Amino acid sequence: MSPDLATRADSRSSHITPRDHGRILRLGDDLAARLSRAIGSTGRVHSVFARAINVEWADGRLLTLHGPGPLRAPFAAAVERVALLRAPRPDAPVIVEPGRLRLPGLVLTWDEAAPIGCAIPAPPPGLDRAVVDTLRHHGTGRATGLDSPRGVAARAALAGAIGSGDAARLVEAASGLLGLGEGLTPAGDDCLVGALAVLHAIGHPALVRPPTPAAAIARAAAERTTAVGREFVVHALAGRFSEPMLTLLRARAPLEAAEAARRLAGLGATSGMDTLAGLRLACLAAA
Amino acid sequence: MAQATVVKRGAYHDSVALLRLARALRTRPGVREAAVVMGTPANRDLLADAGLLTEEARAASSNDLVVVIEAETAAGAAAAASAAEPLLARGGRDTARGARSRPRTLAGAARRTPDANLALISVPGRFAAAEAHTALTAGLNVMLFSDNVSLRDEIALKHRAIDGGLLLMGPDCGTAYVAGVPLGFANAVPRGDVGIVAASGTGLQQVACLLAARGRGVSHAIGVGGRDMSAEVGGLMTLAGLDLVGADAATALIVVIGKPPAPEVGERIRAKLAAIGKPAVACLLGRDAAVGTRGPVTTVATLEDAATATDARLAGTPWQPRPFTLAGVDARIAVARRGLTPAQSKVLGLYAGGTLAHESRLILESLLGPVGSNLASSSAGGEPDGDREHQILDLGADEFTVGRAHPMLDPTVRVERIARAAGRPDLAVLLLDVVLGHGAADDPAGDVAPAIEAARSTARAHRRELAVVASVVGTAADPQGLAAQTARLEAAGAWVLPSNAQAARAAAAIAGPEAVRATLRTGGTA
């Protein structure tokens, strides 16, 4: 059983009365595997938004539930109706049962959900020319935090680290970006995730050559950014990304890549643009 | 100066709400700065850099929301701080919800207003196609203001609209006039006998305003979306729009505005115009526009020429394009050049209107050579990163509008760019557009005028001048008032020309070598 989902259901579960039922339509394959290993564990509703909720497990890791459509995070599950997500309140218990999640007033079944591959496959598939060309035209807009002197320096450090192929420099540069800037997922985290996507896709030596920097960056993320930002970074270190990001990375034609970049840019307030900024930075630095 | 801090432990709000909150707080009386960030170590460093790291902020943790307000008085800071929480509860919006119930779906709205025959859809792109299909199902014509609608969806929607005898204007249709009703970003222009079909919002606005200045009005103006004339879409809605204005008894002349169509689409448009037989003016902004009249169609190279050629054809007078319509332009250019150093030779265009930016780029390229731009098919290869070339930036493009409103509404990006440009020792001319009308900002000239003044002042501090050249797309009847907006810009030191094309030529004449001025003096319109 996965230790992160292994906490036993506590006594609060006996007070949960299901009122509404819904289906999870799609979820990341890694998340599906984790849920399967975690029957009986309990989490809590961490945060509630207009169209999504986050669930936090005992180890601080997150699951995002949002409405139908592409998975906006590798740790996300898409439910059939966004209205289902209006019932849960912060701190409400969430219990993993066979084939379903149980929340106060809500049961979500996941046994028929389609598992979505959110990982960049091995060996690294590389990036099509269409994607590289598209990134030349996108990713120049970004949150103001990334244009602050610290943001500029952190981006320059990341570009330098990628250019050098030095894992230690990559850790240092990542630390400079973590938690930097606007947003619940700070802009620096988004930028770093974008850069990591490129590094995974091309199998960049700074990321894959032992000793790899993943553990050190994950430790820095635990200390330096928000819970949501950390979750994105930890998954990115493992090569797992949102569907809009993967759609862009997999594009093989200019129109397809441009459309994917536009969709990615539209995520969040500046998150999509900040992610594109990271993709572009890594593309240029690696070249 | 006083500061107030709000720290909300473990508070999670989406990023859009946080950005809205910061912006709403910055606009409150007496507030100098407002920072809204998560309390991560890096953000605490940013706050320290900005002089905003209060004791409360210093003690925050990564999952705490930190709001720091700096205001002229302690009372002002406290008032803004106390407003933060209620604002956040409304998703950062600085307006209370109206009490009147509003329909929650398009179908519900259609049921409530059975006489409606048009739906204006402005929702995030990924939902827009579904809403447009709903509207078509309800028998409504559609103005699809949303962008980021896929090409496949656009084609499907347009075929469906044509099958149902309906219009699908858009996607990314910013402006239209239907039977005298302005939709989207639209100026107050009179009704008249000019029918317009346009794949460009600000292009349509420029032509309609210049026609209004000549006493001409618009019968209908159909926006078709920027991709309609592509090979993929095949000009579906352009042709449908031409059918509409062609059959309209109130339309005496048809104007078509856009970028160069795909060859086969251009053929269909020409055939359609010939079949309609009404006089027509085609303004398809490209490098190789064959200016002149063939059959019923006069082809022009600029938006201003579209208006002047239309006016001349309706009046039955000869038409000739002119580089400038003002008197004393040479003297004004000479004055503008007087304070420039030998190093100042570049033009930077910061545009709210995408088509106006495109037009300026074409004019500058023809007079000055390569121009860097974030516009598609830039001669200098995409978004310019460096400051060593002529640049035209469309600040309404996706990369500049994420998380904030279009620059016609929110001047933040342009003001920042103007301030940055002031430090460039090679920059001779700052070229701007200001777009008035319904839907635009309340005081767009006033929004940028302080930045213009500050930029010119910065340049003077470095012992050089910075020429600022602008045009205002608007009419005397617009809510903001053309004369007042022009006066505000001129008071800030800008030279305001009657059209975007003239402004671009003036910019080239100021920044360029003597040969450019000679070309323009001899009537070359570029």
Chain B's closest residue to A134, CA to CA, is B382
Minimum-distance CB partner of A225 among B62, B150, B381:
B62
In 3D, which of B315, B9, B18 has the Cα closest to residue A91? B9
Q: How far is A131 from chain B (nearest CA, A)?
A: 14
Distance (Å, whole) CA B486 – CA B434: 9
Angstroms from B16 CA to nearest CA on chain A: 5
- B259-312, pLDDT tens digit by residue? 889 999 999 998 999 999 999 999 999 877 788 898 899 999 999 999 999 999
Contact B40 A139 (CB under 8 A): no
Work out the average pLDDT over B239-265. Answer: 95
Q: Is the pLDDT of residue B111 over 80?
A: no
Average pLDDT over residues B44-51: 92
The count of other CB atoms within 10 Å of the CB of residue B73 is 12
Mean pLDDT throughout B112-124? 85
Does residue B95 register a pLDDT over 90?
no
Cβ contacts (< 8 Å) between B125 and chain A: which residues? 262-263, 266
Nearest CB among A137, A229, A269 relative to B403 is that of: A269
Q: Which residue has the higher pLDDT, B50 or B472?
A: B472
The 3 state secondary structure assigned to B89-117 is HCCCCCCCCCCCCCCCCHHHHHHHCCCCC
| pTM metric for this prediction | 0.56
Question: Do A266 and B37 lie within an 8 Å CB cutoff?
Answer: no
Task: Give the minimum alpha-carbon distance from A73 to chain B in angstroms, rounded to a whole number.
Answer: 15
The Cα of B286 is separated from the nearest Cα of chain A by a number of Å equal to 21
Residues of chain B contacting A149 with CB distance shorter than 8 Å: 49
Distance CA A270, CA B329 (A): 44
pLDDT for A108 beyond 50: yes
What pLDDT, on a 0 to 100 scale, did the predictor assign at position B389?
85
pLDDT of residue A87: 80
Q: Where are the alpha helices (DSSP H) in A7-148?
A: 29-36, 129-137, 144-147
Segment B71-100 shows an average pLDDT of 76
Contact with chain A for residue B115, Cβ under 8 A: no
List Cβ neighbours of A79 (8 Å cut-off, separation of 6 or more): A22, A23, A24, A25, A65, A66, A67, A68, A85, A108
Q: Per-residue pLDDT for A191 more than 80?
A: yes
Residues A85, A62: Cα–Cα separation, whole Å: 16
Size of interface A-B (CB pairs under 8 A): 135
Contact A226 B38 (CB under 8 A): yes
B400 at the A interface (CB within 8 A)?
yes
Least confident of A189-198, B83-92, B233-242: B83-92
More confident residue, B126 or B49: B49
Residues of chain B in contact with residue A47, where contact means CB-CB under 8 angstroms, are 12
Q: Under 8 Å CB-to-CB from A101, ≥6 apart: which residues?
A: A24, A35, A55, A94, A95, A107, A108, A110
Provide the Cα torsion B32, B38, B42, B46; round to 10°: 0
Q: Which residues of chain A are within 8 Å of residue B62 when distances are taken between CB atoms? A: 179, 224-227
Count the alpha carbons within 13 Å of A228 in the hemisphere toward its beta carbon: 28
- CB B373 within 8 Å of CB B380: yes
Which chain A residue shows the shortest CA-CA distance from B151?
Answer: A259
pLDDT of residue B442: 87
pLDDT on residue B329: 93
Chain A nearest C-alpha distance from B416 (Å):
10
Instruction: For residue A211, name the pLDDT band (cuts at 50, 70, 90).
Output: confident
Average pLDDT, chain B: 90
Higher-confidence residue of A38 and B499: namely: B499
User: Is B19 in the A-facing interface, judged by CB distances under 8 Å?
Assistant: yes
Residue B151: count other Cβ atoms within 10 Å of its Cβ. Answer: 14
| Averaged pLDDT, B188-215 | 96
Please, what is the angle between helix B151-163 and helix B236-247, to 10°? 30
Cβ of A184 and B398 within 8 Å? Answer: no
On chain B, the residues whose CB falls within 8 A of the CB of A138 are 398-399
What would the mean pLDDT of B370-382 be, rounded to a whole number? Answer: 67
Per-residue tokens: B95: 């307006």
Which of A182, A188, A223 lies closest to B18 in CB terms? A182
- Minimal Cβ distance to A138: which of B12, B381, B399: B399
Query: CA of B90: which chain A residue's CA is closest?
Result: A50
CA of A205, closest CA in chain B: separation in Å?
Answer: 27
Within chain A, residue ranges assigned H as helices are: 29-36, 129-137, 144-147, 149-164, 167-177, 187-202, 205-208, 214-224, 227-237, 243-250, 254-265, 271-286
Mutate to test the interface with A, among B46, B153, B385, B401 (most CBs of A within 10 A): B46
Q: Quick check: B42 and A178 CB within 8 A?
A: yes
Rounded Cα gap, residues B77 and B25, in angstroms: 10
Q: Which chain A residue lies closest to B17 (C-alpha atoms)?
A: A269
B402 close to A (CB below 8 A) = yes
Return the beta strands (E) in B389-511 as ranges.
390-394, 427-435, 467-473, 494-497
pLDDT for residue A4: 35
- Could you report the per-residue pLDDT of A214-249, keeping only the tens digit for each? 999 999 999 999 999 999 999 999 999 999 999 999
SS3 content of chain A, % helix, strand, coil (to 5): 50, 15, 35
The pLDDT of residue B127: 86
| A135 pLDDT higher than 80 | yes
Contact B400 A141 (CB under 8 A): yes
Asked whether the beta carbons of residue A269 and residue B13 sit closer than 8 angstroms, the reply is no
**Chain B residues with beta carbon closer than 8 angstroms to that of A182:** 15, 18-19, 22, 36-37
Is residue B58's pLDDT more than 80?
A: yes
**Cα B517 to Cα B509: distance, rounded to the nearest angstrom:** 5
User: Using the beta-carbon criterion (under 8 Å), do B42 and A272 form an inter-chain contact?
Assistant: no
Ranking B83-87, B220-224, B334-338 by mean pLDDT, the lowest is: B83-87
Tell me, what's the pLDDT at B485?
A: 94
Q: Please report which confidence band the pLDDT of residue B30 belongs to, taking 50, 70 and 90 as the band edges.
A: confident
- Judge whether B89 is closer than 8 Å to chain A, CB to CB: no
Pick from B141, B138, B134, B136: nearest CA to B111: B138
Radius of gyration of chain A (CA): 19
Interface test with A, best of B399, B410, B420 (most A CBs within 10 A): B399
Q: Is the CB of B36 inside 8 Å of chain A's CB atoms?
A: yes
Quick check: B148 and A263 CB within 8 A? yes
How many Cβ atoms are within 10 Å of B327's Cβ, its own excluded?
Answer: 8
CB contact under 8 A, A143 and B382: no
- pLDDT for B255: 98
Three-class SS state of B164: coil
Decide if B40 and A227 are in contact by the 8 Å CB cutoff: no
Pick from B41, B151, B382: which is nearest to A179 by CB?
Answer: B41
Q: Which residue of B has its CA nearest to A139?
A: B399
- Which residues on A lie below 8 Å from B399 (Cβ)? 138-141, 265, 273
Nearest to B38 among A177, A184, A262 (CB): A184
- For residue B141, the distance in angstroms to the closest alpha carbon of chain A comes to 26
Q: Which residues of A touch B40 (CB under 8 A)?
A: 178-180, 186, 224-226, 229
Q: What would the two tokens of residue B367 be?
A: 């007079």
According to DSSP, residue B261 is labeled P
Nearest by CB to residue A49, choosing from B14, B126, B398, is B14
A78 beta partners: A26, A66
Q: List the single best residue of A48, A54, A225 to mutate versus B (max B Cβ within 10 A).
A: A225
pLDDT higher than threshold 90 for residue B326: no
Cβ neighbours around B295 below 10 Å, total = 11
Residue A51: pLDDT band with limits 50, 70, 90: confident
User: Averaging pLDDT over each range in B16-30, B60-74, B101-115, which range is the top one?
Assistant: B60-74
B311 vs B32, more confident: B311
State ipTM.
0.88
Picking from A133, A144, A191 by the largest number of B CB atoms within 10 A of its own CB, the best residue to mutate is A144
CA distance A123 to chain B (A): 32
Contact B403 A273 (CB under 8 A): yes
Residue B137 in contact with partner chain A when CB distance is under 8 A: no
